[in-house]
Chain A
Amino acid sequence: MGQIVYDVHYQTTLGFLISYYFYLTGLSAGSFMISTLSYGFGFEKFKAASKMGVVTAVILLLLAPQFLLMQVAWPVKSLWHNFVYLNPLSAISYGAFLLVLYPLNSIIYGIFMFKDNKKWTKFFGLIGIPLALAVHGYTGWILALGVARDYWNTGLMPIVFLFSAMVSGISMMILMIMIRDRFFTAEKKINREIIDGLAKLLGWLLVVDLFLVFCDYSILLYSRLEGQEVAHFMLYGKMAFGFVVLENLIGKIIPLIIVMVPRLRNSYFLLVLAAIMNMVGILAMRIVTVYGGQALPLM
């Protein structure tokens, strides 16, 4: 109705650093899940991925909070204020505890795994699963509780984050296992069985992920004006390349076709391509969600 003559636009609240933090926690949670498949749930064929999974999970989760500290204006203050002046109503408060507990548990779990202590590995692995779910689910929860933004404020957000975490974690594990088997083992031969199993798992998780995105957008397009605006912004606006092309086409649909068609899956080249594309796509998803979700002014 009116033309804006003068208005104040605000600073970007959460930036790229937060996207990278979400991405790395996602990869960490995903690789932790893979590592628990054999010790925690008894899928023996994934045993070769367990040790690699837990080491990656720990390294990534020690790395991820550094981005969080870079984003926070007062990093040292935040290290202890988060515990001392805790606000139980805030999602970030719980994150502070999870970011301490989850790496600690993963380290203990990893130590028992390397000592071949099956009983305690299983125990700490099973404790780690809810922690891994929580440490990544809460990142989606943080965004969902940013109630002002319609794009974030949906109950699907933690679940979308969990599935994209598992998807990107599996892609990373596929890549890492292939590199290890090809270059750092005596026989230089890739373990076909585990790669195939992970690729199939990736396929089904991608189906769920795409379904969740479909649910999210189909509801957003029918929701309040602000939700409609942001959905249009994502689908046809400035974010369209990031959301439609990078996240969904390159990141999810093409990898899904590659891992679901047996003939394509048998090609190592295509599988590597699918894993790389998926990892790029999930990184795009983090940036699109964090940056795009708050790009439109609210009033």
Chain B
Amino acid sequence: MSKAHETATPSGSKKLPRWGMVIDLNRCIGCHTCEITCKIQNDVPLGIWRSWVKVIEKGKYPNVVRAFRPTLCNHCENPVCVKVCPVHASYKREDGIVMVDPHLCVGCRYCMSACPYEVRYIHPQKGILDKCDFCHFRVDQGLQPACVEACPTSARIFGDLNDPDAEVTQLVEKKPVQALKVDMGTDPHVYYIGLDQATMEIKREVELVWDK
């Protein structure tokens, strides 16, 4: 896990990093620590989240199990939000982090409706778009994103996917990994190990929020 630190300041090669994340759900205990840490680190206002853990309960009593899906911006290689932004406020950094320029954003919310992962929100006070940016200020300093640092079971692994020795690259290459909604052609760079189908389902048998 210290690999992220090493690749942030590459010594030998000049190759730019490509930041990515692997979330090992065999380790995830659904404690929501990443969610809280993210809110504290990024000063995310009440009622909105940059990253959250979706919790699903499946099975029939007494054989019941909970499945988790930590959710965050997928930092796609081919992000829809960047394509649809009318003012170039959404952009992808060279190291793959998808960000929003608060000075350019006019708050039209088009990217919110185009993002297949629903991870963008309008900041209630600033009126501009906000989203997970892999804690870019921490990454630039050679640190890990806050959620990765805080995870008590090390379920979140962050690093440079261009570095063949990094733990993320090893996991993506050697383990069976999944990504969300690859059919959208976005090429997401957040990978999951052991992701439960139930957490990705669109079909809802539960009562929806607006049905109440």
Q: Which residues from chain A sit less than 8 Å from chain B, CB to CB?
A: 1-11, 13-14, 71-75, 77-78, 81-82, 85-87, 89-93, 96, 142, 145-149, 152, 225-226, 229, 238, 294-299
Contacts and interface: CB of A to CB of B under 8 A. Distances in A.
Q: What are the 9 A-B residue pairs with the smallest beta carbon separation, nearest first? A: A73-B107, A73-B127, A2-B198, A92-B86, A2-B58, A2-B56, A78-B106, A13-B113, A5-B55
Contact of B86 (A3, A9, A96, A146): A96
Contacts of A9: 209
B127 A148 contact: no
A71 B67 CA distance: 38
Interface in B117-141: 117-118, 120-122, 127-128
B211 interface: yes
B113 A146 contact: yes
A215 to B, nearest CB: 23
10 contacts: A1-B205, A2-B196, A5-B66, A73-B109, A75-B106, A82-B87, A90-B85, A148-B113, A298-B202, A299-B180
A75 B106 CA distance: 7
A85 B184 contact: no
A6 B87 contact: no
B208 to A, nearest CB: 8
Contacts of A147: 80, 114, 116, 184
B40 interface: no
B19 interface: no
Contact of A299 (B49, B118, B120): B118
A145 B184 CA distance: 12
Interface of B: 48-49, 52-58, 66-67, 71, 80, 83-89, 104-110, 112-118, 120-122, 127-128, 180-181, 184, 196-206, 208-211
A2 B57 contact: yes
A3 B54 contact: no
Contacts of B55: 4-7
Contact of A92 (B66, B110, B115, B208): B110
Contacts of A14: 109, 113
Contact of B57 (A3, A72, A295): A3
A76 to B, nearest CB: 9
A250 B129 CA distance: 39
Contacts of B197: 1
A2 B199 contact: yes
Given A2-B198, A71-B109, A73-B122, 5 more contacts: A2-B67, A85-B104, A91-B84, A146-B113, A295-B210
Contacts of A299: 54, 71, 117-118, 180-181, 200, 202
B contacts with A: majority SS: loop
Contacts of B122: 11, 73
Given A3-B206, A297-B118, A72 B88 contact: no
A145 to B, nearest CB: 6
Contact of A10 (B53, B112, B196): B112
Contacts of B208: 296
Given A74-B107, A78-B108, A148-B114, A90 B84 contact: yes
B58 A3 contact: yes
Contacts of A142: 110
A145 B80 CA distance: 9
Nearest to A75: B106
Contacts of A73: 106-109, 122, 127-128
A92 B88 CA distance: 12
Contact of A90 (B110, B127, B128, B199): B110
B113 A149 contact: yes
Contacts of A82: 86-87, 106
A4 B204 contact: yes
Contact of B87 (A7, A87, A297): A87
A229 B201 CA distance: 11
Contacts of A90: 83-86, 110
B199 A87 contact: no
A85 B87 contact: yes
Given A148-B80, A294-B113, A1 B198 contact: yes
A8 B49 CA distance: 8
A266 B122 CA distance: 52
Contacts of A229: 202-204
A82 B87 CA distance: 6
B121 A74 contact: no
Contact of B203 (A8, A72, A225, A295): A225
